[in-house]
Structures are given as structure tokens and as C-alpha cells.
Amino acid sequence: MSSALWGTADFLGGVASKKRPPLAVVGFSQTFGLIVMLVVATATMSWGADLSYIPWAFMGSACGILGLLAFYTALANGVMGIVAPITAAGVVVPVAVGIVRGDVPTAAQAVGIVVAILGIVLATGPELRGAGDSKSVIYAAIAGVLFGLVFVALAGGGESSSIMTVTAMRIISVTGLVIAGLFARSLGGVTRADLPAIAAVGAFDALANVALGAAAQNNNLTITAVLGSLYPIITALLAWWFLNERMRRIQYFGVAVAMVGVVVLSASGGH
């Protein structure tokens, strides 16, 4: 669920960032995400959760904002179907952290992880040779590492409350972005017509974070990170469908391979 929500949010955010400055898109989307999380936290009576999630929220907020700025900048200047899968390389960060923490997948789960990552590489790799010096690729790679750290933060904060971790992340993010907006004295040219799509970006992004945090409570971080890192495939497919962006044959094969990995992981159980 987190991959589907993130992938859709990234597609909508990428489209918006081609018309408006990435900082403005991030600022408005994070604000809408905060509104959603305030409602969710209140409806679920999560405000009384243990406060151990707060340090993780600061980490997740900082990495998330910087990652989104890098990612939307890459999307605004590159081909969405190429840029989005590159960020999936960041999955190595939470996978490595999970292994260091003692996550030991079963044989079937290990096969699923390898197959899923292989699919992501196949969906991404053909473009790296021709775009190695591209700024969009560099920004996408930076975003991938930062998003990988967000996975770690969500897993850590989720041990207390995934909902409050994301709510606190949004409070911190929006506060910082409002201060930046006051200094810039600009709304980035965002108009009323832009708001529905940007609101969807914020809502989907916030709910994707909650879904991932909840998943991390019931699965080891390695498996959760791999499944949560399939969002670029959703973005690429939406770009193919709505923007007529085309990928190479091997990239379509990579998407299929990644989905096989998901099926293997799901069938082998969560623990």
C-alpha cells in the first residue's frame, strides 16, 4: 500500500514540479499532509503515545524534506520513468540497517528480496549509461539515499507510534517550510487550480508513511524496505499511461521481475 500511495504521489508531484518550483510543491503538499495527519491522529486517539518517536520524527523530517526537494528537482528536469526508479537504489540503506540489527530473512524471503531488487535494477539500469552525467540522475540518487534513511526513521518511530511519528514529521517539516517561505516572501506561483493535485500529493505521501511505519512493526525492516521501495515502478507506469513516456523492453521486464519478487515475499510470510 505504501508503494502504491508513494508512487502515485510522486507522479502527481513530478507533474506539478514541471510547472511550479519544487520547494513550493513540497511546501504546499506537506501542509496538506499535516492536515490529514492531524485528523488521523485525533480520530485514532494517538496523541498519548510514548514520546520516544520524537527523535525519529526529526530525522525523518529532515531526510524527507531534503529528499523530496532533490527528487522533485530531478523529476522536473528529467524523464519521470527514468528518474523515479533510480531513487529505489536507496533501498540498500534500510536493508543494510536491518541486517546489522539482526534481521535474518528465511530462504524464501531472501530469494524474494534478491528478485525484487534485481527487477528494480533492470527497470533502472539501461538509462544510467546514457545519463550518468545528468544532474537529474545525481539528484535522484541523492533522493534515494535520503528516502532510505526515512525508511529507517519510520521503522524506529513506529515502535512507539507510526501515526504520531508521521504527524510529528509533518509538524516539523511544515514549520521549517513556512519559515523558508516567509524569508522568500513567495508562494512559488502556486494557483488555486494547482491545489487539488498538490493536496493529493500531500495526503498520499502522509498515508504512505503511516502504512510503511505500520508494516515495519509486523515485519523485519529488510522485507518492509524492499516492498516499500517499489514505488518508482508505480510512478513509471503512471508516466507511461498518462504522459506517454516509453521505457525499453528490458525495463518492462524489470517491472515484471520486481512484481514476482513481491509475490514471493508475500507468500513467504512476514516474519
Residue with cell 519478487: 261
pLDDT at 183: 83
pLDDT at 266: 63
C-alpha 17/C-alpha 1 separation (Å) is 24
29 near 205, Cβ under 8 Å?
yes
pLDDT at 133: 43
pLDDT at 262: 73
Closest CA to 233 of 26, 86, 77, 72: 86
Residue with cell 524471503: 109
268 near 106, Cβ under 8 Å?
yes
pLDDT at 55: 97
Please report the DSSP string for 100-126 in residue order: HTT----HHHHHHHHHHHHHHHHHHHH
Q: How many CB atoms lie within 10 A of CB 122?
A: 20
C-alpha 23/C-alpha 229 separation (Å) is 23
Per-residue pLDDT of the chain (271 residues; tens, 9 = 90+): 999 999 999 899 989 988 898 888 999 999 999 999 999 999 999 999 999 999 999 999 999 999 989 988 887 777 776 677 677 777 778 888 887 888 777 788 788 888 877 887 776 655 555 544 467 878 888 998 999 899 999 999 999 999 999 999 999 999 998 888 888 777 778 899 999 999 999 999 999 999 988 888 777 787 888 888 788 778 878 888 898 877 778 877 887 887 788 777 766 654 4
User: For residue 164, how far is the Cα from the chain centroid?
Assistant: 18
pLDDT at 240: 84
pLDDT at 77: 79
pLDDT at 131: 47
C-alpha 47/C-alpha 161 separation (Å) is 9
pLDDT at 267: 66
Q: How many CB atoms lie within 10 A of CB 222?
A: 22
113 near 265, Cβ under 8 Å?
yes
User: For residue 84, how far is the Cα from the chain centroid?
Assistant: 10
89 near 141, Cβ under 8 Å?
yes
